[in-house]
Structure 1
Amino acid sequence: MSKMRVGLLFGGRSGEHEVSIVSARSIAKALKSEQNAQKYEVLPFYIQKDGFWQGGETAQQVLDGEVPQVGEEEGKYANPKSRWQFPPEADSVDVWFPILHGPNGEDGTVQGLLSLMQVPFVGSGVLGSAVGMDKIAMKTAFAQAGLPQVKYQTVSRAQIWSNPCVFPKLCDEIEADLGYPCFVKPANLGSSVGIAKVRSRTQLEAALDSAASYDRRIIVEAGVVAREVECAVLGNDNPQASAVGEITYKSDFYDYETKYTEGKADLIIPANIPAAVAAQIQDMAVKAFLAVDAAGLARVDFFYVESTGEVLINEINTLPGFTSTSMYPQLWGYSGVPFAELADKLIQAALERYKP
């Protein structure tokens, strides 16, 4: 029986380009493991930071940690249209495994392209990816599903930049409604990029200005004294939730450096929380998954307010990392699904969802 050709798509144009490469290496290793080697053939596809797609030897070099030797005619295209001339190997892909983090990767854009190719792919479709990426749309979906959240306000770039008379009043409203500390976040960036924790008016003004440089939609959330716990979800219409894990760290908050630097944060699996709370988090994780129409995989993050026993949903990540420090594969490993089996299950979920 011939092997199924898996198009491993990594790199991308976001600020998480390097993280995507590391995730792809882990997935490639899992698909080449003894239990998967007879089923799958990995075809690597590397998207450069300028958007140009590379396949074959060049993509494999990046996957292997080497610096690829890219000719001028392959790297910097004279005609922008040439970026859409996909490597010829793309025609032979049976199922795509995109592991592109951040904008132009997990926000529905690539998912739309893969849908047009009419080939199955791992993960959420256009809707689930877009809603999961946009923090404002995500929170609206969570509210509709009855999931409790921290207080927040939405802000537009126009409110921050267009009218200097409006800005002070906006800051007054945020201070009165949310207080300090609070978090300012671009609505459409992943992995804590562009996020700031603020404790004063001066910091708030600077954070809003900075967030507006990243995105035209911004969200401001009230700070909460809580433990940060996470749950992984796997499946499609009848998804399953993993054990619950906890993130602890010494930095001021779980920022990009803390998230992706080994030793900066500790992952505790399982989280030392009451069984009833863990069950509640698992139930809420599945509800969140279905609320945004996610598919295949997602990691759902929560705040556990130990003093009151309250659980608040923070966000969903529909394409979580697969690096050595990533919570998603570790949660499933503890829950009885080792990495190689997890990669296989994700591909099988993609094939199942694609069936007419």
Structure 2
Amino acid sequence: MTDRISVAVLFGGVSSEHEISCISAASVLNHIDRDRYDISTIGITKEGNWFLTGSPVANIGDGSWEKDDSNRRAFIAPDRSVGGIMAETGDGRFEILKVDVVLPMLHGRNGEDGTIQGLFQIAGIPFVGSGTAASAASMDKVMTKAIINQSGVVAQAGCCVSYRNVYESDRPAETERIREFFKNTFPLFVKPANAGSSVGITKVKKEEDLPAALELAFCEDDKVLVEEAIKGREIEVAVLGNDSPQASCIGEIFAANEFYDYNAKYENSMSRTAIVRDLPPEKEEEIRSKAVKVYETMGCAGMARVDFFLEESGRVVLNELNTLPGFTSISMYPKLWEESGLPYDKLIDELITLALEKGDR
């Protein structure tokens, strides 16, 4: 293709991961080849307002883009005859900006859960990442559990599910049901079914702390997953591709806190990541193969990061997968591909190529 490709980068969003999305977008914008692509940037505020912005990349990263007086209200039109962005002009009218592909840097709810992907598919605009169904199923930890259990491709932690309406109708009874399910064995992890960046997750060490953990998780979602705690190394694999996905090398998380919560991921400088180099080749291949199988089983496309626990016994246990993983300067997904021989800028090229190959299917 000799013509420059028109790329719309979306960031922000109505999500608890709004700030991380802005940082990811700024990192992408700092690495993308502007000689090859025409870039439009659309920021979505926490209130859900869309703006076409020409704000400097640094302002996108720190969130101050919202104060830019040159911002224009804009949206991606679902009407396929538009084929892109409708942006407000100074006289109250709208102009059309054609878009070849959308690169959504929208983490968490309303960005990674299939909602925005549905808009792209209705609009007929190719986009980076998985489609509506795969995004929704992969974002929902309970749905992921069910699909992977049915497939049998990898072990998972034992779990039960709690629903807000059941919990609120009889808190003591629901707490007791959960305690009995796990035979009063702690610690447990309590997680919102639909939230990223470890928002709303609590490690519960004793029974009396369970209600507070459930309350916190229900602040993020109406459905909560309670899991047994798995003791093992926290490892991650980046997967890339559509019909023939490939796995990167393996990375490991060393959390500064007791587990890899939001603070440990983004705020505590004592957390660190590393490339795994001490595993036998056959174990590395097993982990990478399981990452690809999980990716394929969930119907993913474009990219995803697949997270596991590696127990001392050698058992590999799935933690979760992220269909729009972080792209910040410290994020594992681009780091793993760079270590695997695909630099950040070339990774962006490959993701855009995969999106155009996939089209709007």
Could you tell me the TM-score, scaled by structure 1's length?
Answer: 0.90
Choose from 247, 255, 267 the match for 1:261: 267
Query: Paired residue for 2:23?
Result: 22
Choose from 335, 339, 353 the match for 1:334: 339
CA drift at 1:172:
3.1
Residue 40, structure 1, aligned to residue 37, structure 2: yes
Choose from 224, 234, 242 the match for 1:236: 242
Distance 1:144 1:175 in 2: 22
Secondary structure (helix, strand or coil) at the match of 2:48 reads: coil
Distance 1:62 1:86 in 2: 23
Distance 2:95 2:318 in 1: 41
Distance 2:137 2:255 in 1: 28
Secondary structure (helix, strand or coil) at the match of 1:55 reads: strand
CA drift at 1:218:
0.6
Distance 1:89 1:25 in 2: 25
Residue 290, structure 1, aligned to residue 287, structure 2: no
Distance 1:269 1:173 in 2: 39
Distance 1:159 1:211 in 2: 14
CA drift at 1:160:
1.4
User: Contact conserved, 1:53 with 1:86, CA < 8 A, in 2?
Assistant: no
Q: Compare 245-254 and 159-168 and name the one that shifted more.
A: 159-168
Q: Compare 251-260 and 158-167 and name the one that shifted more.
A: 158-167
- How many residues are aligned here? 341
1:168/1:19 CA distance change after superposition, 3 Å:
closer
Gaps of 5+ in 2: 74-84, 88-93
Query: Paired residue for 1:120?
Result: 126
Query: Paired residue for 1:81?
Result: none
Q: Compare 254-263 and 293-302 and name the one that shifted more.
A: 254-263
Distance 2:95 2:284 in 1: 45
1:190/1:168 CA distance change after superposition, 3 Å:
closer
Secondary structure (helix, strand or coil) at the match of 1:343 reads: helix
Q: CA-to-partner distance for each residue in 1:277-304, whole Å, 9 max, x for gaps?
A: 1111100000110111111000000000
Residue 311, structure 1, aligned to residue 333, structure 2: no
Secondary structure (helix, strand or coil) at the match of 1:43 reads: strand
Residue 347, structure 1, aligned to residue 352, structure 2: yes
Distance 1:56 1:250 in 2: 36
Residue 69, structure 1, aligned to residue 67, structure 2: yes
Q: Compare 182-191 and 266-275 and name the one that shifted more.
A: 266-275
1:27/1:153 CA distance change after superposition, 3 Å:
same
Distance 2:150 2:37 in 1: 40
Distance 1:64 1:148 in 2: 38
Distance 2:319 2:126 in 1: 30
CA drift at 1:141:
1.2
Query: Paired residue for 1:82?
Result: none
Distance 2:58 2:211 in 1: 44
CA drift at 1:330:
0.3
Distance 1:237 1:17 in 2: 31
Q: CA-to-partner distance for each residue in 1:249-292, whole Å, 9 max, x for gaps?
A: 23110001111126231111134322221111100000110111
Query: Paired residue for 2:51?
Result: 54
1:40/1:221 CA distance change after superposition, 3 Å:
same
Q: CA-to-partner distance for each residue in 1:208-238, whole Å, 9 max, x for gaps?
A: 1221222111101101210000000000111
User: Contact conserved, 1:262 with 1:325, CA < 8 A, in 2?
Assistant: no
More helix as a share of residues: 1
Identity over the aligned pairs, expressed in percent? 41
Distance 1:266 1:150 in 2: 25
Residue 180, structure 1, aligned to residue 181, structure 2: no
Distance 1:190 1:297 in 2: 16
Secondary structure (helix, strand or coil) at the match of 1:264 reads: coil
Distance 1:137 1:278 in 2: 27
Could you tell me the TM-score, scaled by structure 2's length?
Answer: 0.89
Distance 2:248 2:207 in 1: 41
Secondary structure (helix, strand or coil) at the match of 2:273 reads: strand
The one-letter code matched in structure 2 to 1:21 is C
User: Contact conserved, 1:46 with 1:59, CA < 8 A, in 2?
Assistant: no
1:117/1:60 CA distance change after superposition, 3 Å:
farther
User: Contact conserved, 2:113 with 2:139, CA < 8 A, in 1?
Assistant: yes
The one-letter code matched in structure 1 to 2:267 is T
Q: Compare 208-217 and 225-234 and name the one that shifted more.
A: 208-217
Query: Paired residue for 2:76?
Result: none
CA drift at 1:158:
2.0
Query: Paired residue for 1:79?
Result: none
Distance 1:293 1:201 in 2: 38
